[in-house]
Amino acid sequence: MNSVPQESKNNGCSGCLITLLCFFSVVGILGWIALPSFFSNQQAKPRQPEAKQYLSSINKGQQYWYTENGIFTHNFEALGVGIKTQTINYSYSISATKTAAFSYAISRDQKLKSYVGAVFLVPDPGGAIDDMTTVSIVCEAKSKGTTRIQDPILQNGVPSCGADSEKAR
């Protein structure tokens, strides 16, 4: 009889299985360690769109109010946008002049950014000489905190954010 040694039937698969098990264990442990910090960084993000949406609604309300009444308003209820002046995350306020209206979302949490919205009265480029229209902007603070940021300004008919903020996206 031929005494040829028989090759092992497992072809090293048990080594592959152990390697895969170790790999997934390491990935699982690293994921378990990293997951809480990932979620803590993400917690503020869902709360910030509240301010942007509210200020955008207030801006639209001011534009409509001006179209109907020829002035901007200081009164939240008059805008009819159904926004509370205080939520868990932000305190809201508005102010108005003859040529502009400003709305503020001041963060109540150090981990959130504050916002300011503005509507400006500008000459209508397609209208008669005395025709006016409105332009608006929402600005986001460059840093987190509970302070009010600078009002946007109008430069050559284009609204722009103050030095401590940038246009909200």
Distance, in Å, from the CA atom of 21 to the CA atom of 14, rounded to the nearest integer, reads: 11
Distance, in Å, from the CA atom of 27 to the CA atom of 148, rounded to the nearest integer, reads: 43
More confident residue, 2 or 58: 58
DSSP assigned state of 118: E
Distance, in Å, from the CA atom of 119 to the CA atom of 83, rounded to the nearest integer, reads: 18
More confident residue, 11 or 165: 165
- In terms of Cβ atoms closer than 10 Å to its own Cβ (0-12, 13-18, 19+), residue 103 is buried
Distance, in Å, from the CA atom of 10 to the CA atom of 18, rounded to the nearest integer, reads: 13
Helix (H, G, I), strand (E, B) or coil at 34: helix
User: Average model confidence (pLDDT) for the chain?
Assistant: 84
Residue 76, both tokens = 């939240």
Q: Give the pLDDT of residue 129.
A: 78
Whether 76 has a pLDDT exceeding 60, the answer reads yes
Whether 38 has a pLDDT exceeding 60, the answer reads no
Task: Return the percent helix, strand and coil in the chain, to nearest 5.
Answer: 35, 30, 35
Overall pTM > 0.85 = no
Whether 43 has a pLDDT exceeding 80, the answer reads no
